[in-house]
Structure 1
Amino acid sequence: MTTASTGRPTRLGIDIGGTGSRWVACDLEGRELARGRADGATAHIFNGAERLRLTAALADIAAQLCSHGLSPTRVRAGLTGYGAGVESEAQTLFAAAFGVPASIVDDITTAYLAVYRPGEGHVVSAGTGSFGVHMAVDGAQIRVGGRGILVDDAGSGSWIALRAIERLYRAYDRDGNFDAMPRMAHHIFEMVGGREWGNVREFVYSGNRGRIGTLAIAVGRAAHDQDPAAIELLSRAGAELAAIARTLILRIGPLPLAFIGGALDLHPIIKQTIGANLDGHSLDFPESDPALTAARQV
């Protein structure tokens, strides 16, 4: 569907990640008018299922804009996994949804610009996936990680979820039960919808990285219930995210560090571990808003 052309002209910013999408509409002077959420998606539209996910997310955002009486005249989006190989088809999907051409960049770019101006610092993001980035004054980027759950994404929500499932079933193979980590087992099985391996297998292998990443919430709940295995795993996640920051420091030099993303809020141990591993460095955990930043850039 396409948004109605009779609505109030707006500047639309969208931040599309694997777990969820966020949008902000501003007037032509950059004042916020409305914001909302939609399901997540990726730029992996060479995969038919991912193409449908992105199409559905954009259609939902377009419908929400219509319900607010808004019509985008300029669109800027950060899309996870975006690159030159999918540029043409992604542009077609955005134009079909909003009726205007879109300025699309990867979500790494929007994440950085929501925190720093080019050259000011290093950003480490821990959402469904993880990555580190430094953007130079000339716009050149140095990126660390961000290669997806099949390769790395250490410290991210999907990484936490998969490591937790691995631990559960290694314990089961050893003991024949889940008594070694009962609270983590309880919360994961509750989110999966069953205690059998078939339930977990279906959840993991029939889903996408965004769906898998939601299981990190279960690990966070188990940690709040004082499950030692969950606490140790989230501490490992914090150490992995700190390692991304150290790699940026090694390559670029010491600069202020900003850590962003929903995985950081699963449990305080994650931020505590990051701080302990980066003692002496300038750290911040800002509440960034990439969608609003994008809306004000177009």
Structure 2
Amino acid sequence: MSFKRWHKEKMIESTLFAVATATVLILILIFLFLFRDGLGLFDTYSFSTFITGQAWHPTSYNPQYGLVPLFLGSLLVTFGAICISVPLGITSAIYISEIADPRVSEVLKPFVEILAGIPSVVYGFFGLVVLAPYIQLWLDLPTGQVALTGSIMLSIMALPTIISIAEDAISSIPSSLKEGSLAMGATRWQTIYKVVLPASLSGISAAVILGIGRAIGETMTVMMVTGNAAVIPGMPEGIIESVRTMTATIALEMGEVSMGSEHYHALFAVGSVLFLTTFILNLIADRIKNRYKFKLEGS
């Protein structure tokens, strides 16, 4: 290897290392920034009251910063989105990878990826103008800005993530496994159900978890279509009630608070909880993906 080529490769390696290091440092700084201001709330407000509080009234005479209604609102909307997007996403991935004609797959895959690039405000505007009035009329509700509307819109937004990752996992299954199943007399559907899906289960699980992270971290869409009522949703009727998520609360109130106030620190505490939730979800997804990778390498 010539000195010039060796020097060029070292430069590329050093650049990539610097970029990776900067990414880790930025993540650590975001973590410290959030938790520094979030912990400031507990100088004047009880931690247990914040975690277990059932009311969010930051502007009342006696301000209340209860996380429960915001957390349950996020959980309800996200759960509804996953119930819709997971079956659709996995079946779509199976169709693209195993059933569709290659020419059809070449059209569908870029189309799915384009969906991921549409701004969230466009989804929110569509949900507000088209879907919310339809939900209101269909279910005879006072308003269509309810958790169900948010769940439907978030499911559409989570589909590209689930489909892309699940399709990659299914496509990575060694062809010898499929050929062996077919050679033993199994039908195409039996091969998909009993061989392909179990072998790609870890990758599909990672797709689902990343889809959950995509849904729970969404802000603009849920802020536009869920009604933003900071109340504890009922079960199961809460799906057709207005709710407020953690992300929407931060977006709605951060511009109105004075810096350093108790309300200001409370919003950072909510952001810290949201950051921890999405961070843990991504760690779980990464662990599952690594298990999937090692499984394929050992097969």
TM-score interval, smaller chain: under 0.3
Q: Please, what TM-score do these two structures have when normalized by structure 2?
A: 0.23
Structure 1 length as normaliser, TM-score?
0.23
Q: Larger % of strand: which?
A: 1
Tell which has more relative contact order, 1 or 2 (C-alpha 8 A, sep 6+): 2
